[in-house]
Amino acid sequence: MKKVGVAILGLGVVGGGTYKILTDNKEYFKKTQELELTVESVLEKNIERALSLGVNENIIAKNIEEVVSNPQVDIVVEVMGGTTFAKDFVLKALKCGKTVVTSNKELFAKHWPELEKVAKKANAGLFYEATCVGGVPIIRVLHESMQANKLLSIKGIINGTTNYILTKMANEGTSYEEALKEAQKLGYAEFNPTADVEGFDATYKISILSSLAFNTKVGIDNIYRQGITKLTKEDFLYAKQLGYTIKLLAIGKNTNNGIEVRVHPTCVANDNPLSTVSDSFNAVHLVGDSVGEIMLYGRGAGALPTGSAIVSDVIFAAKHPEFYYTTFKNTEDGVAETKYVSDFSSQYFVRLTVEDSVGVLSKIAQAFAKANVGIKQVKQSASVDGKAPVVIITHECYESAINKAISKLKKLDASITIDGIMYLED
C-alpha cells in the first residue's frame, strides 16, 4: 500500500477539520483508496489548540524549515490564510518538491502565476479545490468534466456569510446592521467583515473560477466589485413585491465581445434556482455549449465541508504527485492579453420616488426611451403625502445606456428622486 505523509500548516477551523477527516477516516482511505495517509507534521503556534485536537506533541514543528525538510512529508496542506507567511511557506514547500494543497483563495487569486511557475519548475503538485465554494467540488468539475464544452457562463452565490445576511434581510425584514450582528454572533462573519461584505472574498473566488472556465487568467483588477453594505430594508421590500429576492452574485460571461466578470448585489427572480439558495449555502450555475445548464449546490465553508475538499485534493495528489495542470497560459502576460467587455449589458431594477402628478411617468418613460433602454415592467405603489414609490424593471441594455437614462432622469426636475439601481437576473 502506498504510504503518503501529510503536513498541515495552520490548525484553525479548516486545518482542524482536515486533521479530523485524515485521522478519523484513515482506515477507510486504506480500504477505498489503497493509500495510507498519515499526518506527519503540523505547524501551529497555539499548542493547546493542537493538543486539544488530539495531535501528538512530537509532530508539532517549530518552524517551516522543519516541515519542508522532513522526508516523511510528501504533501503540505496550507490552511493558514493571508498572503505573507502563507506565500512564503507555500513557495518554500514547492521549492523542496513537496506537493501543496491549499484553501487560500486570496493567495491564489493574487499570486497564481508565480506559484504555478515554481511548482512546474520543481515538478511539484499544486492543488486548490478548497479555494472556491468550500465542499462543493467545482474546480475538478471545471478541470476534468467540462472539456467538451466552451463555457458560456459561470454564475453563483459563492460567499456564505453574505448569503446568510441577505437571507435574513429578505425573510425577516431586518436591516443590514442587524443581520450582520447576527452573522457575527453565529460565527459566520468575522469581527472585521470587510472581506466578505465588500465582495473581496467572492472576487478572489470568481477570479479563479472564471480563469478555469474561460481558459485565461482573469485578474482581480478586471473584475467589477460591489458589496452588500448599502442594501436597505426597502430594497428587499420592493424586490419582493415584484417577485425577486436579492443575492450577492458572482457572474462570469464569455461573450463574442470578450469576457465580463463581476460581483454585485443582484435582484434574482423567484423562479431562478439561485434565488432558493439560502442561509450560508453556496451554489454555482454553469452553462456549457454542449451540456447546457449544470448547477452545483452545497456548503461553501466550515471545518468539515472545506476539509472534505482539502482531503479529496490530498488523495488526488497522492495519486498524481507531479505537476498536473493548468489548461491555459497562466502568466501575468496572460492577464494582459485577455479581452474584456468594456460596456456590459444587464437588466436593471430602478427604484424611484416620484411626485404623484399628471405626466410624471410619461417623462420617465421618455428619458428611458431617449437612452435606448426598454422598460419591461413598471409598478407604482400608493402615494403618501403626494409622493409615490415607483419601480422600473428594464429589458437587457448596455450599462452606458442605463447610465444615460439615469442622468436624464436626474436632469428632469425635483419631482423624481432616484432611490436605488440594481442589476437584475431573471
Active-site annotation, residues: 205
Cβ at position 134, least distance to ligand HSE in Å: 6
The single residue listed with the C-alpha cell 505523509 is: 5
Residues 26 and 299: their CA atoms lie apart, in Å, by 23
Site track for ligand HSE across 235-264, x = CB under 6 A: ------------------------------
Nearer to ligand HSE, 188 or 348 (CB): 188
Nearer to ligand HSE, 153 or 162 (CB): 162
Nearer to ligand HSE, 282 or 326 (CB): 282
- Helix axes of 233-241 and 160-172: crossing angle, nearest 10 degrees: 70
* 212 φ, ψ (degrees, to nearest 5): -70, -40
Site track for ligand HSE across 294-313, x = CB under 6 A: ------xx------------
Q: Where are the alpha helices (DSSP H) in 215-331?
A: 233-241, 303-319
Cβ at position 195, least distance to ligand HSE in Å: 7
Instruction: Return the C-alpha cell found at 75.
Output: 504533501
152 burial (CB, 10 Å; 0-12 / 13-18 / 19+) is middle
Instruction: Return the C-alpha cell found at 383.
Output: 402615494
Are the beta carbons of 133 and 205 closer than 8 angstroms?
yes
Nearer to ligand HSE, 40 or 196 (CB): 196
CA-closest candidate to residue 362, choices 390, 383, 399: 390
Residues 148 and 58: their CA atoms lie apart, in Å, by 48
- Residue 376 region by backbone torsions, left for phi larger than 0, else alpha for psi between -120 and 50, else beta: alpha
Nearer to ligand HSE, 162 or 345 (CB): 162
Residues 198 and 200: their CA atoms lie apart, in Å, by 6
Binding-site residue total for ligand HSE (CB under 6 A)?
8
Cβ at position 304, least distance to ligand HSE in Å: 13
Site track for ligand HSE across 144-183, x = CB under 6 A: ---------------xxx----------------------
Nearer to ligand HSE, 282 or 347 (CB): 282
Nearer to ligand HSE, 10 or 334 (CB): 10
Cβ at position 248, least distance to ligand HSE in Å: 10
Are the beta carbons of 299 and 281 closer than 8 angstroms?
yes
Cβ at position 21, least distance to ligand HSE in Å: 17
Of 184-243, which residues contact ligand HSE (CB under 6 A)?
196, 201
Cβ at position 421, least distance to ligand HSE in Å: 26
Instruction: Return the C-alpha cell found at 8.
Output: 498541515
Are the beta carbons of 83 and 107 closer than 8 angstroms?
yes
Of 96-135, which residues contact ligand HSE (CB under 6 A)?
134
Q: Give the Å distances, CA to CA, from 7 to 126, 167, 308, 373, 420.
A: 14, 38, 16, 57, 50
44 near ligand HSE, judged by CB under 6 A: no
Cβ at position 70, least distance to ligand HSE in Å: 29
Binding site for ligand HSE (CB under 6 A): 134, 159-161, 196, 201, 300-301
